[in-house]
Structure 1
Amino acid sequence: MTDTAGSAPPSTVRFRIDLGYDGTDFHGWAVQPELRTVQGVLEEGLALICATPVRTVVAGRTDAGVHARRQVVHCDLPVDLLPRLAGRGARTREPADGLVSRLRGVLGHRGAPDIVIHAAQQVPRAFDARFAAVWRRYSYRLADADALRDPLTVRQTPSLRGTLDVGAMQRSAQEVVGLHDFLPFCKPRPESTTIRTLLDLQVEREGDGVIRFDLRADAFCHHMVRALVGGLVRVGSGAWSVTEPAVLLARAGQGAIREELPPLHLMPAHGLVLEEVGYPEGERAWAQQAATARNRRRVEELGGSARPTI
């Protein structure tokens, strides 16, 4: 199987699978030896259906404890599987519908009620769940002293003492929207850039008093959402000024290194949910977006120094 769009052998056909999961009892998305992960359980189910190992490519990896309402993967399945998925006679259906039905059944039998298969569709090879995506949207829910504590959502809602200033956090959030080097709010990985475009960031108090953060970006760096929310919580508590997050981004754009910046304030993983992933329309747009996404961004885009991004 293959990781990249357009290079799969002709003996396979590509499927897009939309799914969601409660991340509480998973050690993150990616396969890890001897640990229960979302990718591991999903690929075990696909292997049973196909009678061969299957590799999945995901729109965005999630850490241990993080949830997803609408995650997207693609995988290349054997062509000779299609008739079995379609069924016979009066039970004939689209292979994608058969894949959903079989995958739901396998996951149910294997005791994985915390993964929900929403839909599947056969797609051209230009579709790449990771690189063809144009944005990802996350939410983070947090209960402060003014929130009503709901026992049915406690596994998805961290709590803290004191009351946060939602207005200050919202004002601060608007100052960090846009194209920036988000080094102050992520853990950089080797050979990866920390430059991202944050398309939207909203902070509001819901009817039950729980504070909800909504973030949408072209992509997110490692721990970026939890660190951004942590920075805004510092603003809401009065520990930081409203302008501090934007000041830190400006320092990064001017060449500051990680060691010169404040330590990350990471919020607990269980408040984070991947809400949805956005894709352009059509095979040509998928291919163009995938090519663009594979090109690393450089710090010169920010109008800053010549510090190389990693």
Structure 2
Amino acid sequence: MEEPALLAIAIGYLGEDFHGSQYQPKIETVQGTLEQIAYELTWGEKPRERVHSLKLASRTDAGVNVRKNIAVLELPRHIWKGVGQRKMVQAFNDRLPATLWVWGVCEAPVGFEPRFPLNRTYRYRLEGLANWPGSSIEQMEKWLAIFVGENDFSNFCNPRAISDRKRTIFSTKPWVNNGQVIGFEITGYSFIWNQVRRIAHAILCLARGDVTISEVEDALYKPEIPCDLGMAEPDWLVLWGMVHEELSFQEPEADLSHFSSSPEWLTFRQRQHWCRVAKAEVRSWMLQDGLSLRLANYKKE
């Protein structure tokens, strides 16, 4: 008997259209939507509690956008041979809502575990926050350096997060577009619930002068002393990608050239209006980038 085919499905989605990624009964989620379509295509069981055809590499909260996540589906090999990469991508996308898309499929080796990539990368567009005052590249680099390395992020996660709150951040860097800092990038092996959004709010507080670097360091290096520095909204957070050395996807560099720069000297109400424009840009860019990734991984058969 042939071994079943283990398929890695690369997906992207707009977070505000789903109540998070993880399956929840009678609620629109990314996993639930994908599993329902797999069921309709006879590629999986009907989704319900504790019965799941798909496993996601990363969980995301409602509102968080995703450029790349991986879903794993097991199929009998004869079905995979008959369908192939191109038809599978097309079959999913023909049935998915416009805010969730499959941009690639490849076969993974036996025993592949999507939850354990070499690393994950997030980006947060700080300039989308209504009260973001701006930052120089040098300032941002200094603030981000605080979080690099292994630390206990108890003060930078959801209080209901698991008990093991130690995480290792491999690298951070300012997210720069047209010479202007628009946010930051952060890469680590794994992230705890709300970690990046709380780091983003701490940086916002530093930029506004609401806290000092010493206060942020104390919150990080003294996790036994509770300290709540707030949490930034999910709309500007993007799960940018992850690296699995077992998978072979083509990922062209993202084109952010149509992102507009935040005008200076706006009133608070005017800035709120600009933030709505920026949010529309993110939606447009996510869809455009999803198409670019899909075309880069298109295989003629």
TM over 0.5: yes
Q: 1:45–1:106: 8 Å Cα contact kept in structure 2?
A: yes
Question: Given the superposition, is the C-alpha separation of residues 203 and 243 from structure 1 closer, same or farther in structure 2, using an over 3 Å criterion?
Answer: farther
Partner Cα separation in structure 2 for residue 61 and residue 226 of structure 1:
14
Partner Cα separation in structure 1 for residue 239 and residue 158 of structure 2:
19
Question: Given the superposition, is the C-alpha separation of residues 162 and 15 from structure 1 closer, same or farther in structure 2, using an over 3 Å criterion?
Answer: closer
Partner Cα separation in structure 1 for residue 162 and residue 197 of structure 2:
22
List structure 1 segments (4+ residues) > 6 angstroms apart after TM superposition. Answer: none
The alignment status of 1:172 with 2:143, answered yes or no, reads: yes
Question: Given the superposition, is the C-alpha separation of residues 206 and 243 from structure 1 closer, same or farther in structure 2, using an over 3 Å criterion?
Answer: farther
Name the amino acid aligned to 1:275. W
Name the amino acid aligned to 1:268. E
Partner Cα separation in structure 2 for residue 233 and residue 15 of structure 1:
40
Where do residues 198-277 of structure 1 align in structure 2 (5 Å cutoff)?
Answer: 198-207=169-178, 209=180, 211-252=182-223, 256=224, 260-277=225-242
Q: Deviation per CA, 1:7-50, whole angstroms, max 9, x where unpaired?
A: xx976321001111111211110111221111111111111122
Q: Deviation per CA, 1:257-287, whole angstroms, max 9, x where unpaired?
A: xxx32124110111000111012358xxxxx
Q: Deviation per CA, 1:56-105, whole angstroms, max 9, x where unpaired?
A: 111110100111011112121233423541xxxxxxxxx23332222122
Q: 1:100–1:119: 8 Å Cα contact kept in structure 2?
A: yes
The alignment status of 1:29 with 2:21, answered yes or no, reads: yes
Q: 1:104 corresponds to which residue?
A: 93
Name the amino acid aligned to 1:50. T
TM-score (norm 1): 0.71
Q: 1:176–1:245: 8 Å Cα contact kept in structure 2?
A: no
Q: 2:134–2:181: 8 Å Cα contact kept in structure 1?
A: no
The alignment status of 1:140 with 2:124, answered yes or no, reads: yes
The CA deviation at 1:209 is 5.0
Q: Deviation per CA, 1:218-248, whole angstroms, max 9, x where unpaired?
A: 1000000000111111111111112332222
Q: 2:67 corresponds to which residue?
A: 69
Q: 1:163 corresponds to which residue?
A: 133
Partner Cα separation in structure 1 for residue 6 and residue 171 of structure 2:
32
The CA deviation at 1:213 is 1.2
Q: How many equivalent residue pairs? A: 240
Partner Cα separation in structure 1 for residue 191 and residue 115 of structure 2:
12
Partner Cα separation in structure 2 for residue 185 and residue 228 of structure 1:
6
The CA deviation at 1:175 is 2.2
Q: 2:293 corresponds to which residue?
A: none
Name the amino acid aligned to 2:119. W
Identity %: 26
RMSD: 2.3
TM-score (norm 2): 0.73
Q: Secondary structure at the match of 1:81?
A: helix
Partner Cα separation in structure 2 for residue 241 and residue 76 of structure 1:
50
Question: Given the superposition, is the C-alpha separation of residues 241 and 51 from structure 1 closer, same or farther in structure 2, using an over 3 Å criterion?
Answer: closer
